[in-house]
Amino acid sequence: MENQKVLHRTNKLNSQSQIPAIFLDKDGTLIENVPNNVDPQLIEMKIGAIEGLQILSKAGYKLIVITNQSGVARDYFPESALIGVEARLNEILEKADLSLDGFYYCPHHPNGVISEYAIACECRKPKPGLILRAASEQNIDLANSWFIGDNLTDVEAGHSAGCKTILIVKGNQSQPQMSRLGIADYILVNLSIAAQVICKHSVSNF
Ligand SMILES: [Mg+2]
Ligand SMILES: [Zn+2]
């Protein structure tokens, strides 16, 4: 009986100290999609990204990038090139008083040409491996976290990890048709709108 009480109290403490996060796809969501780019100078934030991150950061969410970088396995660029990408992203965000809480990437691809990266891993989206790793390293409350991405593999990864999801679509895509798929919790046009929807959603749920 006494043990059960202690256990219960511990669980409560753990859940209280967990922090919700916004998991962000990089290419086509946070920054303009330039396929396989690792040139820091070509990194350009998407419309609404800075505003969206400011809203979410103020609301208390951790901001964590989750990105597939199979260009490493395919030998398009070395893994070390991603250090420059992360640094440039942080440099841009710092100017807006923002910072990332994590930058997690999957360098693998089953058809890669570099053998150490040519594996069917657990971290390439749509697998939730990177999200789960971030969650355990940073004590994240997955049920109150969101995954925002521009690809259905982002949505699938987010849902597999137990998060809510937002699919970012280009203005010219047929939204009603995508909505009928019923896969993402919301289908929206940019990160700024996504942030507003998340904040409204949180208020109505607490
Ligand atoms: Mg993307
Ligand atoms: Zn991987």
- Read off the pLDDT of each residue in 193-201 and give the average, rounded to a whole number: 95
CATH class of the domain whose range is 20-205: alpha beta
* Distance in Å from the first CA to the final CA of the chain: 31
The proportion of the chain whose per-residue pLDDT surpasses 90, expressed as a percent, equals 82
Torsion of CA 68, 70, 71, 72, to 10 degrees: 110
Nearest to 139 by CA among 102, 86, 106: 102
Q: Which numbered ligand comes closest to the C-alpha of 154?
A: 1
- State mean pLDDT over 136-154: 96
Q: What SS3 class is residue 129?
A: helix
pLDDT confidence of residue 14: 53
Residue 38 tokens read as 């690792």
Whole-model pTM: value is: 0.88
- Please name the residue that has the structure tokens 């994240």: 140
Query: What pLDDT is recorded for position 4?
Result: 47
How high is the pLDDT of residue 203?
A: 75
Residues annotated as catalytic are 25, 27
The predicted pLDDT at position 15 comes to 53
Rounded distance from Cα 14 to ligand 1 centre (Å)? 33
Distance 13 CA to ligand 1 centre (A): 36
Ligand 1 center–CA 24 separation, angstroms: 9
For residue range 103-132, what is the model confidence (pLDDT) as tens digits?
Answer: 999 999 999 999 999 999 999 999 999 999
Query: How far apart are the C-alpha atoms of 67 and 186, rounded to whole Å?
Result: 20
Looking at the CA of 26, name the nearest ligand.
1
> In this structure, which residues have their CB less than 5 angstroms from ion ligand 2?
106, 108, 121, 123-124
Residue percentage of the chain with pLDDT more than 70:
85
pLDDT in tens, 42-94: 999 999 999 999 999 999 999 999 999 999 999 999 999 999 999 999 999 99
- Quote the CA–CA distance of 139 and 148 in Å, as a whole number: 19
pLDDT at position 183 is 80
**pLDDT confidence of residue 175:** 57
pLDDT at residue 6 in the model: 46
Q: What is the pLDDT of residue 172?
A: 57
Q: What is the pLDDT at residue 124?
A: 98
Q: Which helix (H) or strand (E) holds 64?
A: strand 62-68
Contacts for 195-199 with beta carbons within 8 Å, 24 or more apart?
Answer: 195/51, 195/52, 195/53, 195/54, 195/55, 195/56, 195/59, 196/55, 197/166, 198/22, 198/56, 198/59, 198/61, 198/146, 198/166, 199/55, 199/56, 199/59
Better-scored residue on pLDDT, 15 or 190: 190
Per the CB < 8 A criterion, the answer to whether 73 and 108 are in contact is yes
